[in-house]
Structure 1
Amino acid sequence: MDSSEDRVVAVIMVGGPTKGTRFRPLSLNIPKPLFPLAGQAMVHHPISACKRIPNLAQVYLVGFYEEREFALYVSSISNELRVPVRYLREDKPHGSAGGLYKFRDLIMEDSPSHIFLLNCDVCCSFPLLEMLEAHKTYGRMGTVLVIKVSAESANQFGELVADPATKELLHYTEKPETFVSNSSI
């Protein structure tokens, strides 16, 4: 597909009121994604990063907060950044894969060539353009942004094992009780 034909969609997982318990008491009166971080709502940062992606067609926020809690923010951020943003409310927590599956027809209705999936509470300098180029270069089904952490803190995060030569994902565990390894298989 020619890059002029690319249509990119971003899906940002925002969670819901039964999640973010480690963020309490700060999240008792305001949804965690709307909590101010560096002068902006937490979710503003990944939306702003997505704005820099060429041919961005839509940003979806997927979560299970009440729609009224996001309505004003979605309208405001759409106008401010001139990016179409839409909140999709789950009936219950489905997780990242479940949220994508539940709203798959809506997410795919514009036939995007690429989909970015982000979590609203990840704070970094999102290298989305570089990821998109790497994804196009290697032509795989998916591309994952990861960071290496110490063995001591590995149980706080998802953990993956990749083939050191091909960088292909071999194994993934969500918040393992024991550290798998950084060594190759």
Structure 2
Amino acid sequence: MKIIIPMAGIGKRMRPHTLTIPKPLIPLAGKPIVERIINILIESLDREIDEIAFVIGDFSEEIQQRVADLGNKFNIKTSIYRQSSPLGTAHAVLAAEPSLKGEVIVAFADTLFFSQFNLKNIDADGIIWTCEVPNPKDYGVVKLDDDGCVTEFFEKPTNFISNKAIIGLYYFRNAEILKKSLFKLIENDQKVNGEYQLTDALQYMIENGYKIKAQNVDEWLDCGNKNATLIAHKRILERYPDESKVNESVKCKNAIIVPPCYIEEDVILENSIVGPFVSIGKDCIISHSIITNSIIQNNVKLSNVNIDNSMIGKYVDYNDSYDELNIGDYSEMNK
């Protein structure tokens, strides 16, 4: 089985952090979002993964290498494709055309999920994973028949259709069928707001007699914006207590660490309280501060802050006091 991970988007809702790094590479407790997606799939699927294909945008060589290293980390064949223009989810998947063969999982790189995926004895040509939500008008949803097969897709419906939100995770038993629908979509130039949508290609499959079923995941964590990402980060630390780690090189001087926290090497904590649900990257200095429920990346200096629900990028030097911060890389702000 192959995993295709489209991750070419520019991540506008996650700015300023995505001005210097793609959203899927933002770390949650020390691991990039996309690495966590791969981990979850490898652990949860009842299939062996023989290839991971990433669809990237106009990324630097350094970022491309970081993406390539992810596949190598799992000792799985890695392919990297480029989406030439931001023309939608269907266009992004088709960019990985050479890998659209046999059984394929398509997993978009801004969503985390927890479930056991049993693909044995599946009587369908595809699966779309969903999550029941209280506010379906804010999501793309599916309409099902009595057998649990998808009949139609609706994007942010004003009238109630169903509460089964599409989470961005799909299975195809034969990706060649999907490929034909993707080509048909583009040949017909069927766009929504200037983009080719994957759900429209799936609608072609359904109209041609192919069966796509919906399955619910146990839990879905969106990483689309700062607040959602911090919720995902908190759930990671809650769900995987073994990942709450404080590196042995961390120096505490009159400081308290309230678990769960993830703190990397060569961090100095002085006269501070850190945690719960805090990640701190390497080579940071935190002094005279109280920090909860936050992600702090590498080489950050913070003093005299009292913050919660905050994200702070790399190489930030900040000396002030606010309840909540959202600061990108290479920023300096002092009183």
- Give the TM-score range, shorter chain: 0.7 to 0.9
Question: 5+ unaligned residues in a row in structure 1: which ranges?
Answer: 1-7
Aligned pairs for 1:80-95 within 5 A: 80-95=73-88
The CA distance in 2 between the partners of 1:144 and 1:69, in whole Å, is 33
The answer as to 2:16 corresponding to 1:32 is no
The worse-fitting range, judged by mean Cα deviation, of 141-150 and 56-65 is 56-65
1:13 deviates by 1.5
What's 1:107 paired with?
99
Aligned residues with identical type, % of pairs = 22
TM-score, normalised relative to structure 2:
0.44
Which stretch shows the higher mean deviation, 58-67 or 34-43?
Answer: 58-67
Relative contact order: is structure 1 or structure 2 higher (C-alpha 8 Å, sep ≥ 6)?
1
Q: Does residue 1:160 correspond to 2:153, yes or no?
A: no
Which position in structure 1 is the counterpart of 2:33?
A: 42
**CA gap 1:102/1:117 in 2 versus in 1, 3 angstroms:** same
State the Cα distance separating 1:126 from its structure 2 match. 4.6
Is the contact made by 1:9 and 1:58 (CA closer than 8 Å) also made in structure 2? Answer: yes
| Larger helix fraction of residues | 1
| Distance (whole Å) between structure 2 residues aligned to residue 179 and residue 85 of structure 1 | 43
CA distance in 1 between partners of 2:60 and 2:40 (Å): 23
Instruction: Determine whether 1:181 maps to 2:124.
Output: no
Aligned 1:103-142 pairs, distance under 5 A: 103-104=96-97, 106-108=98-100, 111-112=101-102, 114-127=103-116, 129-130=117-118, 132-133=119-120, 137-142=121-126
Query: Is structure 2 residue 54 aligned with structure 1 residue 61?
Result: yes
Q: Measure the CA separation in 2 of the matches of 1:70 and 1:89.
A: 13
Could you list the per-position Cα deviations for residues 41-88 of structure 1 after superposition, in whole angstroms to 9, with x for gaps in the alignment?
111111223334433121111132325253221332223211222221
RMSD: 2.1
Gap runs ≥5 in structure 2: 164-335
Query: Equivalent residue of 2:71, what SS?
Result: helix
Rounded to whole Å, the distance in 2 between the matches of 1:70 and 1:175 is 33
Structure with bigger strand share is 2
| Greater radius of gyration (CA) | 2
* Higher mean C-alpha displacement, 80-89 vs 64-73: 64-73
